[in-house]
Amino acid sequence: MPDATAKRRTCPPGLLRRDDAAAYCGVSAATWDRWTAADLNPEPRKIGGAVLWSRHELAEWCRRGCMARRQWAAVWLQILARR
């Protein structure tokens, strides 16, 4: 019988699962979970049941001071509009 990690699908390029998103931002998974519950980090995307964060968005979020989700959402839309 295959183990649980073998069943886990790989993420699309540029997207991070919870543990990787936390590590990318330099915090523990527990801190990341608290931030997510309190809307302090960017909104995750849900794809096929997986909860994922954009690596590019997290990089911009960190560069711009890690603002709360509500404030960040407006900034992120402006960034995307400039592309």
Split at pLDDT 50, 70, 90, the class of 2 is low
The rounded percent of the chain whose pLDDT value lies above 90 is 82
Pairwise CA distance, residues 77 & 31, whole Å:
25
| pLDDT value at residue 53 | 98
Structural domains of the chain sorted by starting position, each given as residue range(s) with its CATH number in brackets: 4-81 (1.10.1660)
Strands 15-16 and 50-54: antiparallel
pLDDT tens, residue by residue, 46-77 = 998 999 999 999 999 999 999 999 999 999 99
Mean pLDDT of 11-28: 93
8 versus 26: the higher-pLDDT residue is: 26
